[in-house]
Amino acid sequence: MMQERTRRAGQQAKKQAVHLLRHPKRLEILFHFIKTGKLVKRLLVDRRVPALRKVAFGGVVAFLLALLLIPDLEVLLAGTVLPVIGEVLGIPLDAGLDWAVFALFATNMLRLFPQEFVTEHYENIFHDGKKVYIDAEEWEQLR
């Protein structure tokens, strides 16, 4: 009798679904400015996210915006900190940062936030709260 219960419990555990933690897709983030703004806002006001991560995100984004909006600052920094950047990349120093490069950096900075919080807010904003589940067996195979 006890073995039967154990066997059934094991079968039920295998049938359990595992919630996947999705990371935002870059193209979605780049082409949906309003939704991306909502995602960042929710992450910044979420009390579960450590303050240090919020400050790090804000600092990096502010630094990138400063480089973008003040072209002379970029040339000065690139000329003093990385004097060979033009030769290595084959681009002139005064070319400036592009908005697309800024967007890519900003989306990569989302990795500063805990994955489960990013996933939660991402699903709510971009996918109307729909979560992705897979079977526990599939999850074990993926690991």
For the stretch 76-110, pLDDT in tens is 665 665 555 555 555 554 454 566 677 777 777 88
Per the domain annotation, does 49 fall within a domain?
A: yes
Per the domain annotation, does 32 fall within a domain?
A: yes
Per the domain annotation, does 39 fall within a domain?
A: yes
Per the domain annotation, does 21 fall within a domain?
A: no
Per the domain annotation, does 7 fall within a domain?
A: no
* Gyration radius of the chain over CA positions: 22
Count how many domains the chain has.
Answer: 1
* DSSP state letter for 49: S
Q: Residues 6 or more apart from 24 whose CB is under 8 A from it?
A: 39, 107, 110, 118, 122, 126
Q: Residues 6 or more apart from 30 whose CB is under 8 A from it?
A: 36, 100, 103, 104, 107
For the stretch 20-72, pLDDT in tens is 556 677 777 777 778 888 888 999 999 999 999 999 999 888 888 887 777 66
pTM (two decimals) = 0.56
